[in-house]
Structure formats: structure tokens, C-alpha cells
Amino acid sequence: MTGLTELTLAEACSALRQKKCSAVELAQAHIRAIEKARALNAFIIETPEKALAMARQSDARVGRGEAGPLEGIPLGIKDLYCTEGVQTTAGSHILEGFVPPYESTVTANLWRDGAVMLGKLNLDEFAMGSSNETSHFGPVISPWRRRGSNAALVPGGSSGGSAAAVAARLCFGATASDTGGSIRQPAAFTGTTGIKPTYGRCSRWGMVAFASSLDQAGPIARSVRDAAILLRSMAGHDPKDTTSVDMPVPNYEVSVGRGVKGLKIGIPKEYRRDGMATEIENLWAQGIAWMKDAGATITEISLPHTRHALPAYYIVAPAEASSNLARYDGVRYGLRIPGKDIADMYEKTRAAGFGKEVRRRIMIGTYVLSAGYYDAYYVRAQKIRTLIKRDFETVFDAGIDAILTPATPSAAFGLGEKGSADPVEMYLNDIFTVTVNMAGLPGISVPAGLSTEGLPLGLQVIGRAFDEETLFAVARVIEQAAPKIAAPENWWA
């Protein structure tokens, strides 16, 4: 077969089962694509030898009739997931050279089902960022460009490497993680589909922690169906993670074609923000029209505490990060900078090992947890979080099946355009996504149109806890109704 990298994940699974191609051929095609796309800086580590070895094992299993659900499918792994024997850095200098002796549960699930690892994908350092510009290994460059311009664009963050690699046809899908929008925002920026599952649906064991009560694993893929196939393999109960929920994992692929007839779709009035870009407003209106045409009922709803979500998030997340990142001290693993005594060694190691954004968030987190400020900031933020969760519960209890919102306040922006003078400018990119993490709910971003500059725009669907099936059904309706977004023009090869 020709054009192997142009297949969807579902099509590749079918081609392998019908023996129209081999797993080795799929791996080789993607390895060649990755080698030609190094200008994107999507991968921190490429693992071609490992990919080919895994592909040969897949071909042997296919030959014996023992193929798993993802047998022979080449994937990229966000470098936040520990991979046994392969460097895992979380995009940070402080973990450069760290080779885990164990496998994360999510990646172990993928290898159990036959997937093939192409390498480790770039990300904002410790997943702290909305543009993939904070990585120690340099920024990821989006495969997309504005119409008539060669200016480099960001792919979104923190899962920028995952989104860029999927959009550029370097892998059929990728693992990602979402703490405040880090799956959905880069998916929206790159014309890919990304789902943040319900908190507890996927194990966090073996994922480098950012904010433990907010982090959740999920996939980025080329289509809604591909994302559904990946999530089924990634999800599941894990006794090693006490926040992992012991619930059966549905066959998400079956729910993709279910449709939305008879569903009640909520439109939150608080998401209509002053100064919202006209093209985002128009896209949202178009999404509402698609829902109506497909037989859904549209209802305006209120989520009154939405306006407090972003400031509360930027208290809770840094507080948890400051605690989680205390373990990087130069003693047990990772970078060590010698000092005159142990305290001096701690200071020098952390100063040299952490980038500016990570240091900023550690300082914010330490401040809001300090004596005299804990009640004023952290406790109050947690109370707001409870109110945000209650807002959603009230709406869903009233019969709403899913909520439709924009995924991002704009299309992708240029490298270096935001946040250099004012970090809050960058944080505002998470304005439509952080509520979902604060409430622990599932959310999906699906491509829905193009900006006036020819860049992808996404719509977000938010669902009830552990009802990812409805998200896939709604997202598929949007995917079918929206104009097809072609792959970005290949300027990097």
C-alpha cells in the first residue's frame, strides 16, 4: 500500500487485519516521516529500533491470529509517561538522562494491546504551559501556518508535541495529558481530536505529576473514532493509583455513531465573554445549528461560578505543583549540581534544573500554601472549586446530557507572541477548559472550522462524569457536519 501515513488509525487497524500491509511497513513509513519532520521538534527522543522490534512482534502475533485491538499501530508517547528503558524528562533539564526502570500503566496498557512506540514527544516543562514554548528541549513548531505567511506558530500546550505529531502525520495517535486544557487546547490549534476523560478513568501511575488532583491522561488522534479506540485501551482500573476508579471501560467506538437525537445540549451563557473573537462566536453558533439539525434540543444554562475558575485554578495547580516538584532535589535521581553543603546543592540543582515558568509556579504555589496565606488563597480556591463542581451537577441533574462551548478563545498564535511580558496573557488561553478539570469532568475538542487566516478552530463538548460515550457521539456529529479540514501543507520535509 502507498500513503500509509495518510490512513486513520481505524483504517490502519483494518489494513493490518486484512494483511494489506505489515506492522513493519507501517513503522518504517512513520520513521521516515519523523526523520523528515525534525524541523517541527515534536520528538525529544526517537526510538526507531524499538519501533521496528515491536512491529516485528506484532506481525508475528497477527500471523498467529493473536492480534490485539491496537496491534501494529505506531504511536507517539508524551514525555510525561515513564517508559521502561527509555529516557523520560517531562521536558525538563532536571530529569534529562533519567531512564525509568518501570512502565507507566497507560503505556503498559497500549503495549498490551499491541501498539508500537515511535518515540517520546515534546511538551511544556512539567506540562506547565499553553504553547509548548517552556520545554528545555526547545519549542515545538506547529505544522500549520497562517495563509500567506511563513511565521512559525505554536501547536498549543502542554501536549504540543503530541498534537503536532498527529497533525503532521508522524503517528496515528499520541498519548497526552490534561491538567487545565493541555489535551483540548493543542487539539483545537492543530485540527486534531483530543479527549480529557473523567478524572480517575485513566491511571496516573507512572505519569510525572504536575497537579495530582487535576492531571488526567487521554489521547490525541486524527478523528473521533480514532480517539475512541485509543481511550478504550488507555483507560481502566489500576490498584497502583488510589484515584483510579474501578468501573468497566465501555466500547467507546460503538458509541461514536449513536447520534444526538433526543439529547439536551446546554449552552452556558457565562462562556459568552466580552471581546470574544467574532470567528469564535460564529463557530459556536454554527455548532449549535448542527446540533439542532441532528435532532438535539438546545437549552441555555448557567454556570455562575465560571468567572472564578481561572484564578482558582492558578492557585490550586501551582500549590500542588510546588509539593510534587519538591522531590527533585538532586539527591535521588536526575540532575545534581554540587554545592558546599546539602542545602547549597538543593538550591543550585533546582535553580539550574527548572525553567523560568516552572520556577514561577513553584514560587506561587509555595506562597499560597505558606502560613498566613493558606486560608486566604488555597482554602478559598478549594471552596470555589466545590462551587464550580456543584454548578455542573445542578445542570446535569436538570436533564442536560452534554454542554457545547468553544475550545479556545482564538486560533493558534505565533511563537513568542504571548506571555513574554505578562504571563497572565498566556494563562487566559485556558479560559474555556479549566472548569472541566476543576470539576473532574470529561471534555473533548473536535475540529469544527477554520479561522479567517486558514487555521483550525475547535468546539468543546463537556459531559457528565464517566459518560465519555455521549461526548464521542456528540463530537462525531460535529465532525460529520463540519467542513473537512485537510492536513496542513507539508513545508518541513
Tell me which of 155-164, 205-214, 271-280, 414-423 is least confident. Answer: 414-423
Judged against a pLDDT cut of 90, whether residue 339 lies above it is answered with: yes
How confident is the prediction for the chain on average, in pLDDT? 96
Judged against a pLDDT cut of 60, whether residue 492 lies above it is answered with: yes
Write down the pLDDT at residue 113: 98
Active-site residue, 158 included: yes
Domain holding 148: CATH number?
3.90.1300.10
**Segment 287-292 mean pLDDT:** 98
Q: How far apart are alpha carbons 447 and 449 in whole angstroms? A: 6
86-99 b/e with 16+ CB inside 10 Å = b?
Answer: bbbbbbbbbbbebe
**Segment 91-108 mean pLDDT:** 96
pLDDT by residue (tens digit) across 132-184? 999 999 999 999 999 999 999 999 999 999 999 999 999 999 999 999 999 99
- Among the listed residues 241, 290, 281, the one whose alpha carbon sits nearest the alpha carbon of residue 410: 281
Cα torsion 262, 268, 271, 274: sign: positive
Question: Based on the structure, what is the number of domains in the chain?
Answer: 1
Query: Which of the residues 158, 162, 233, 445 is marked catalytic?
Result: 158
Query: Which of the residues 182, 203, 233, 255 is marked catalytic?
Result: 182
Judged against a pLDDT cut of 70, whether residue 201 lies above it is answered with: yes
Write down the pLDDT at residue 271: 94
Q: What percent of the chain has pLDDT over 70?
A: 99
Query: Which of the residues 50, 78, 120, 418 is marked catalytic?
Result: 78
Judged against a pLDDT cut of 80, whether residue 422 lies above it is answered with: no
Active-site residue, 19 included: no
pLDDT range class, residue 2, cuts 50, 70, 90: low
Write down the pLDDT at residue 65: 93
3-state secondary structure of 312: helix
Active-site residue, 203 included: no
Judged against a pLDDT cut of 70, whether residue 320 lies above it is answered with: yes
C-alpha cell at 219: 489521547
pLDDT by residue (tens digit) across 212-264? 999 999 999 999 999 999 999 999 999 999 999 999 999 999 999 999 999 99
pLDDT range class, residue 429, cuts 50, 70, 90: confident
In angstroms, the first-to-last Cα distance of the chain is 21
SS (H, E, C) 313-380: HHHHHHHHHHHHHHHCCCCCCCCCCCCCCHHHHHHHHHHHHCCHHHHHHHHHHHHHCCCCCHHHHHHH
Range of 84's domain?
A: 1-493
Judged against a pLDDT cut of 60, whether residue 1 lies above it is answered with: no
Q: How far apart are alpha carbons 428 and 273 in whole angstroms? A: 12
**Segment 49-62 mean pLDDT:** 97
Write down the pLDDT at residue 424: 79
C-alpha cell at 372: 498566613
pLDDT by residue (tens digit) across 442-459? 999 999 999 999 999 999
| Cα–Cα distance list, 289 to 152, 258, 296, 444 (Å) | 34, 18, 10, 19
- Among the listed residues 340, 335, 369, the one whose alpha carbon sits nearest the alpha carbon of residue 350: 335
pTM of the model: 0.96
Tell me which of 130-134, 272-276, 417-421 is least confident. Answer: 417-421
**Segment 380-386 mean pLDDT:** 97
